[in-house]
Amino acid sequence: MPTTPKKNSVDTIFSSITAVSAFSVIILIAGILYTLVDESYPAIEKFGIWNFLTSTDWDPVRESFGALTNIYGTILTTFLSLMIAIPVAVGIAIFVTEISPNFLKGPIGAAIELLAAIPSIIYGMWGLFTLTPIMSRHIEPLLKSIFADVPFIGILFQGTPMGIDILTASVILSIMIIPFTASISRDAFNLTPSIVKESAYALGATKWEVVKNIVIPYSKLGVFGGIVLSLGRALGETMAVAFVLGNNHRITTSLFDAAATITVTLANEFSEADTDMYFSSLYYLALILFVMSFITLAIAKFFLLRAERKYSR
């Protein structure tokens, strides 16, 4: 601190209050972790860690629970939605930073930010009412007719397209995370020094070559951080997928099948689990989700911080 300010008693009180407020974040995180571990303790004791993570059982009658179906659903929908979202989001970022005429940059940027602000429950409801019928009547039958007989990929497109399934949920999730990924990528691209770009142009590079060989390599840390951040968001998204995933505790290979994610299982079953072991297992799921997303977000933060340091140098 460059100058040491004068101290007096009011100042001590004020600084303590601010300190307590700041530490509330640490207390909250510790509190959440403690509560989740405490509540899931009976389930941890009964099922263990490895067994719980690898068991596909979700059987409330026999009180035998495992997390694998939920983890599988969570990871599969997240992965698929990233597959859809990343190219689109990076494309948007390239368009906004390099291609678009200046007068369009503002409006498109604003549109992306608005898309990010729409509450997830609206995405979910819209998905159920508008997207599901389109998927089940048009898009999924089309995909099925093209891919169902192709070896290997074919198993992804088996069964009746009913619209309430993994594919629809992933599409909605991807629409939700496109704005996050796009705006972080855009910020990263914007940090490429124009002098480097201009030198490349001067050497006769085309616009795409500048993007591919200069902008993307220069900003890859930031873009990657943005993608991991979106991954963390997608892992924990509840309402957008709760409407259209179909709550199915089985592991299936077809994208036209229903599934369950950790979040959806919690939303559906948390307030109605009638036995202690059932309830404790749900807390166990919440704990797994918390740890998963915490680690993911920490990784994202690590990359974003490194990117920031690199550019500010």
Partner 1 sequence: MTRQSRRKIGGFVALVLCTLAALLGLFWLVIILGDVLIHGIKALKPGLFINDPVPPGVAGGGLRHAFIGQLLITGFATLIGVPLGVLGGTFLAEYARGRKIALIISILSDIMVSVPSIVIGTFIYAVLVRPLGHFSGWAGAVALSVIMVPVVLRTTEDMLSLVPWTLREAAFALGAPYYKVITQVVYRGAATGILTGILLSIARVAGETAPLLFTAFNNSFFSTNMGQPVASLTVTIFQYAMGPYDNWHEQAWAASFVITIFILVLTMAGRLIIKWRYK
Partner 2 sequence: MKTILKLTIIVLLIMSFAQAYAAEMINGAGATFPYPVYSAWAFDYNKVTGTQLNYQSIGSGGGIKQITERTVDFGASDKPLTTEQLNKDNLLQFPAVIGGVVPVVNLPGVKAGELRLDSDTVCKIYLGDIKYWDDKGIKSLNPKTDLAHNEITVVHRSDGSGTTAIFTEYLSGVCPSWKDKVGAGTSVKWPAGIGGKGNEGVANYTQRTANSIGYVEFAYAEQNRLAYTLLKNPAGNFVAPSFDAFEDAAATGDFDPKKHFHLWLVNAPGKNAWPVAGATFILLAKEKTDENKNVVKFYDWAFKNGDAKAKELVYVPLPGSLKEKIRAYWKANGIQ
Residues of this chain that bind partner 2 (CB under 8 A)? 57-62, 128, 132-133, 136, 159-160, 162-164, 246-249, 258, 268-269, 271-274, 278-279
Least distance to partner 1 from the beta carbon of 283, Å? 7
Least distance to partner 2 from the beta carbon of 120, Å? 17
From the list 103, 107, 171, the residue with the least C-alpha distance to 138 is: 171
Please identify, using beta-carbon distances, which residue of 278 and 290 lies nearer to partner 2.
278
Residue entry with tokens 């059932």: 278
From the list 49, 41, 70, the residue with the least C-alpha distance to 268 is: 70
Instruction: Find the angle CA(74)-CA(75)-CA(78) to the nearest 5 degrees.
Output: 85
Distance CA 269, CA 88 (A): 34
Distance CA 281, CA 275 (A): 10
Least distance to partner 1 from the beta carbon of 125, Å? 4
Distance CA 148, CA 154 (A): 4
Distance CA 239, CA 200 (A): 46
Please identify, using beta-carbon distances, which residue of 254 and 288 lies nearer to partner 1.
288
Please identify, using beta-carbon distances, which residue of 142 and 150 lies nearer to partner 1.
142
**Radius of gyration from C-alpha coordinates of the chain:** 24
User: Three-state DSSP class for 64?
Assistant: strand
- When CB distances are held under 5 to 8 angstroms depending on the partner's kind, the choice from partner 2, partner 1, none that residue 37 binds is none
Least distance to partner 1 from the beta carbon of 293, Å? 6
- When CB distances are held under 5 to 8 angstroms depending on the partner's kind, the choice from partner 1, partner 2, none that residue 150 binds is none
- When CB distances are held under 5 to 8 angstroms depending on the partner's kind, the choice from partner 1, partner 2, none that residue 89 binds is partner 1
- When CB distances are held under 5 to 8 angstroms depending on the partner's kind, the choice from partner 2, partner 1, none that residue 198 binds is none
Please identify, using beta-carbon distances, which residue of 132 and 254 lies nearer to partner 1.
132
Please identify, using beta-carbon distances, which residue of 61 and 202 lies nearer to partner 2.
61
Least distance to partner 1 from the beta carbon of 47, Å? 18
Residue 202 CA neighbour count, 13 Å, CB half: 6
CA dist 35 → 39, 141, 146 (Å): 6, 46, 49
* One-letter identity of residue 299: I
* One-letter identity of residue 285: L
Please identify, using beta-carbon distances, which residue of 245 and 288 lies nearer to partner 2.
245
- When CB distances are held under 5 to 8 angstroms depending on the partner's kind, the choice from partner 2, partner 1, none that residue 141 binds is none
Least distance to partner 2 from the beta carbon of 186, Å? 32
Task: Please say whether the beta carbons of 185 and 223 come within 8 A.
Answer: yes
- When CB distances are held under 5 to 8 angstroms depending on the partner's kind, the choice from partner 2, partner 1, none that residue 246 binds is partner 2
Least distance to partner 2 from the beta carbon of 180, Å? 28
User: Three-state DSSP class for 35?
Assistant: helix
- When CB distances are held under 5 to 8 angstroms depending on the partner's kind, the choice from partner 2, partner 1, none that residue 91 binds is partner 1
